[in-house]
Amino acid sequence: MNHGSMVADRVMDALLRVFIGAVYAFLLLPIVVIVLMSLNAGEFLTFPPQGLSLRWFGALFANEGFMRAMGTSLALAAAATVGATLIGTGAALYVVRHATRTREALRLLLMMPLMLPEILTAIALLFFLYATGIGTRTVFGLVVGHVLVTLPYVFTNVASALYNQDGSLEQAARSLGASPARAFVRVTLPLIKPGLITGALFAFVISFDLFNMSLLLKGVGMTTLPLQLFDYLRWDFDPTAAAVSTVSIVLTLAAVVWIDRSVGLRTLRFG
């Protein structure tokens, strides 16, 4: 290799690094801007902030509409997470441990809500709820929609945790006299715990932020945090909206750190 091509390589390397750094900055930019805006002491969304203050978080906590919407979103996300985790874990256990010829078809079916456009699924569900007389007067349809969208996240995470170990440990427990329930709680559950935590937290965060499904399936007079924020931004443009967004970002960050911790713990033990 001659000297010239080495210099060229080094220049290309540097340029590539700058480019990659710029893309990361692009990914972070809107999120950073929102957090800075929410700490703004000024009256309007100005940049750079006119001093730091938590006043807009105070305004947020005094805003009844936002607080009610946040309560709804948290409850909805909790319900969806419980539903998706129970249904998705069972499905993952079946697909990995029991399915043989149907495995690929089932896997495809379970991942389908992720591959179909959310808005089309929401529309289809809306029509279906009316056609069957269930309607949107109760939260049933909304919860079902959220469980549908979050199901693939639980399924895929639990399934990959299950793939990483064969069923011999449960069978050992069973052959030593443990009941199936006991073998599940004492052996299977600890083994799939990292996948379960990751899947459930993903499901919670995705449900908390879901927009299209909620827009079409919510009952009259009901609202979730993303919907309320969307409506708010139509008329107002003050840092309260940034404060709401920051709360949602912090919630997400907490979930990511939690996932990182639980996955990190696993690598510590097995890696």
Partner 1 sequence: MTASTLAAPAAAPTTAAAHAPRSRAIWLIAPALVLLGVFLLLPYLNIVLMSLRPPAVGAPYGAGFTLGNYGRALTDGYLLGVLGDTLLLGLTVTPICLLLGYPVAFHLARTRSRWAGLLYVLVLSPLLVGVVVRSFGWLILLSGNGVINRALIDLGWIDTGLQLMNNRLGVTIALVHVFLPFMILPLVGVIQSIDPSLEAAARSLGASRLRAFLRVSLPLSWPGIQAGTVLVFVLTLSAYVTPVMLGGAQVKTVSVLVVQSLIDNFQWPAGAAQALVLTACGMLAVAAYARLTRRLSRGLA
> Which residues inside 107-166 make contact with partner 1, applying CB under 8 A?
109-110, 112-113, 116-121, 123-128, 130-131, 144-145, 147-148, 151, 155, 166
Category of 45 on φ-ψ map: left (φ > 0), alpha (ψ -120 to 50) or beta: beta
Name which of 60 and 95 has its Cβ closer to partner 1: 95
Residue type, 165: Q
Please give the angle made by the CA atoms of 164, 170 and 174, to the nearest 5 degrees. Answer: 170
Distances (CA, A) of 111 to 150, 192, 271: 10, 19, 29
Can you tell me the distance from the alpha carbon of 135 to that of 137, in angstroms, rounded to the nearest whole number?
6
Name which of 52 and 260 has its Cβ closer to partner 1: 260
Given the structure tokens 């900055």, which residue do they identify? 25
Can you tell me the distance from the alpha carbon of 159 to that of 165, in angstroms, rounded to the nearest whole number?
10
Taking CB under 8 A as the binding criterion, the range among 24-32, 51-59, 61-69, 188-196 that sits at the site for partner 1 is 24-32
Name which of 53 and 230 has its Cβ closer to partner 1: 230
Provide the CA 41 distance to its chain's centre, in angstroms.
Answer: 31
Q: In the bound complex, what is the minimum distance in angstroms from residue 137's beta carbon to partner 1? A: 16
Q: At what angle do helices 118-131 and 140-163 cross, to 10 degrees?
A: 130
Q: In the bound complex, what is the minimum distance in angstroms from residue 147's beta carbon to partner 1? A: 7
Select from 4, 101, 175, 220 the one that contacts partner 1 (CB under 8 A).
Answer: 175
Taking CB under 8 A as the binding criterion, the range among 61-69, 98-106, 156-164, 187-195 that sits at the site for partner 1 is 98-106
Name which of 175 and 270 has its Cβ closer to partner 1: 175
Q: In the bound complex, what is the minimum distance in angstroms from residue 80's beta carbon to partner 1? A: 12
Name which of 61 and 130 has its Cβ closer to partner 1: 130
Q: Which tokens hold the place of 182?
A: 């006991």
| Interface of this chain with partner 1, residues 192 to 251, rule: CB under 8 A | 202, 205-206, 208-212, 215-216, 226, 229-230, 233, 241-242, 245, 248-249
CB distance 225 to 180 below 8 Å = no
Select from 11, 54, 62, 256 the one that contacts partner 1 (CB under 8 A).
Answer: 256
Can you tell me the distance from the alpha carbon of 213 to that of 1, in angstroms, rounded to the nearest whole number?
58
| Interface of this chain with partner 1, residues 53 to 82, rule: CB under 8 A | none
Total residues contacting partner 1 by CB under 8 A comes to: 86
Name which of 51 and 168 has its Cβ closer to partner 1: 168
Q: Which tokens hold the place of 184?
A: 């599940």
Residues contacting residue 197 through CB under 8 Å, at least 6 positions apart: 258, 259, 262
